[in-house]
Every structure is written in structure tokens, then in C-alpha cells.
Amino acid sequence: MPSTGHAVPTPRELSVRRSNMSIVEKPQLRPARPYFSSGPCAKPPTWEANKLQTDSLGRSHRAKIGKSRLQLAIDLMRDVLQVPNTHRIGIVPGSDTGAVEMAMWSMLGARGVTMLAWESFGEGWVTDANKQLKLNANVMNAPYGEIPDLSQVNFDDDVVFTWNGTTSGARVPNGDWIADNRKGLTFNDATSAVFAYDMPWDKLDVTTFSWQKVLGGEGAHGVIILGPRAVERLESYTPAWPLPKIFRLMSKGALAEGIFKGETINTPSMLAVEDVIFALEWGKSVGGLSGMMARSNANAAALNKIVEERSWLGHLAADPATRSTTSVCLTVEGADADFIKKMAGLLEAENAAYDIAGYRDAPAGLRIWCGATVDSADIEALGPWLDWAYHSVKAG
């Protein structure tokens, strides 16, 4: 065909044209699995309830079968995360919150404390440190979408930080900023980071997470990983405050080693344990840690393409180096909380996307999970639905 003499519009120019239209046609193709919640997150693609082993259900978690399944979950986490044998892994109550607070209540207070906070959960740990434990910690804050200046962190202190800000979409870029010759301990809340980033275990003294994020597991169970320096702290330091039973990592003056061998502090859900075993075995089947990281990175890239092609969408975390590849937080031009609620409601009613409104304490926007259990094809299919929902709400 002869040339018309007109330049082909770019995707962003097309987006501007769409922005000037009052109606966008409803898409025909829906995401096959519209589970974009940032916790609990999408199950692995091959998950079905009838695929879970059930022999441990209805049995005591202290029976041989119960302890063996708990130990298997620990062994699989070590294998997939590539946790060295120098570090202990324990299953604890209370999801990631329980694991973080167990670590803080048990080990902080031996020296100065620096708290890093750039989103709601990090701010919660600041409240624990200063209002509950009364530690008068040094607090380094940053607004949603940003992180503090990591070069200014004092590693003579214990340092508590969130690797990946689930509610802000901002993360630390890597572990290079953590001093090798640190005197304090590092406390790493990694709940939406593990299985999506490579953790530098030699720099992490305490790491916590829950199964409900990148694994797509069930809630209520936390995981705590202790390096040798954290164990040394536990064995040499007794905090000034009383510890609830579910926080106690010590027994009769020694580390409660059973916790790291499947002997949980309180009764776990064996159904949740079987569920996470399935997720971990699926993780191994897609290439282990590197395979799960690749899936998450591909999902984040697919979502970034959607953002770049739309003038009304943006990233809350502007710097790609510190932008999450799991809980991706987006800005929506001209939107307030009510606008976002209407958008999310339309998408849920159409079974196109579930639970994508931003966190209640964050700036109004969208939050879309891009962890390993999501398929890139579903992220790609989401773009036209975002167009439809945005213009539908805008048109009133």
C-alpha cells in the first residue's frame, strides 16, 4: 500500500487519544487468573486443593508425621532460598508480624537501634521500638515510593528495615549497603521480597517472612531465619521486658533448637503446611530461586510496559533501581480514594482483577502483585481492562 504520509502513533500517543474519549469498549479477553492481591497472593498456577497431601490432617503436629511434614517445609525453604547451613529456619505464629515482633522483643535493647521506614509496616516497627519497647531508636524515614539514604545508616546500631515495601512499592536495591564489619544486628522484614530477590545471607542476621506473599501460601504462619550472630545475641542477652510465650526463642537458658526442627511454639495448621509444601515443590519445578525471580521480573516488566503506554498511569516508586518487582504500586492521574475504589469495584465485578486498590494508608492508587505465582499473560491481559475501568469511572 502507498504511504499516507502520516507517522504511526506511538503507544503513549494512542493513550493520550484514549484519554480524550469518554467511552472505552469493554475488552473480551480476561486474565485467566485475576488474582492480583498483594497478600494473600495468587496460588501457584498448577494449584488445586485436591493435589494437597492430607495424611497429616487430623493428626497431632507433634506426632511423627506432623513433625516430618514441618521439617520438610523447613528443608524446602532452605533449598529454594539457598539458605546456608549456618542459618536456622523456624516456623512461628502470627505471620510475618509475629516473626518480626518475636525478633525485636527478643533481641533489641542490647545496643542502639536504627529503624528504617518508608511505608506502613516499617512505620509499625518504629511504633513497636519506640512506644512499646521505649528504645528511643534513631528513625530514618522516607515518603511512600522512596527510601532513605542508605549510605547514612549507622551499623554500630542494630538496624531494622523492610527489604520490599509491600504498601509503597519501594525496596532496597541490593545488600551492598550493609556493612560487613557491622557491630549491630540486621533485622530484615522480607515478607514480600524472599523468593523474588536474591538475599545476601551473610549480611542478614535476622530475616522474617510469611507464606502468603511470593509463595501464594496461607496466612497466620511466619518464618524466622537466624544467622549465627543473632543466635549469639539470644544466648548472651536477656531483654529487660517480659516475653509472651509465643515470642520465646530461649528455653532454660539455651536456644530452643526444636523450633528449627519442626517443633513449633504453638499449634500450626497442617493444612497450611501441606499448602506451602505444594508451593515450594512448584517453586523447585520452575527452576528454584532463579526461576521464581525470572517469573517475577517478567511480570514486573509486563506491567511496566502497560504503564509506559498510558499517559494516566505512573509508578509511585519513580526510581527503577528501588522499585518493587512484586508489589507494584501505581499512581492514577487525577484519582482520589473514591475513584480508585470504583475502578477496583468495576474490575472485580467483571472478574478481570481482584483486590488491586492501593493500601489504605498509602497514596490513592493501584497495587498489582507481580510475584512468581502470577502468569505474565494475565498481567498483559489486564492492561485493556485498566483502560476500560479508568475511562468508565471518569465518564461517570
C-alpha separations of 275 from 29, 55, 172, 215 in Å? 30, 13, 30, 10
Instruction: Report helix, strand or coil for 252.
Output: coil
pTM: 0.93
User: What strands, in cross-sheet order, belong to the sheet with 138-141?
Assistant: 88-93, 221-226, 206-210, 186-189, 158-162, 113-117, 138-141
Query: β-pairing, 138-141 with 113-117?
Result: parallel
- The C-alpha atoms of residue 8 and residue 191 are separated, in whole angstroms, by 44
- The C-alpha atoms of residue 296 and residue 171 are separated, in whole angstroms, by 15
Ranges of each domain in the chain: 11-44+288-395, 49-283
**β partners of residue 90:** 224
Give residue-wise pLDDT tens across range 199-237: 999 999 999 999 999 999 999 999 999 999 999 999 999
Pair 386, 344: CB distance under 8 Å: no
| CATH T-level topology, domain 11-44+288-395 | Aspartate Aminotransferase, domain 1 (3.90.1150)
- The C-alpha atoms of residue 241 and residue 133 are separated, in whole angstroms, by 8
Q: Which residues contact 146 (CB under 8 A, 6 or more apart)?
A: 118, 170, 317, 319, 322
Pair 223, 209: CB distance under 8 Å: yes
Do the first three CATH levels of 11-44+288-395 and 49-283 match, i.e. the same topology?
A: no
Give residue-wise pLDDT tens across range 31-73: 999 999 999 999 999 999 999 999 999 999 999 999 999 999 9
CATH 3.40.50.11900 fits 49-283, yes or no: no
Where the chain has pLDDT below 50, the residues are 1-4, 21
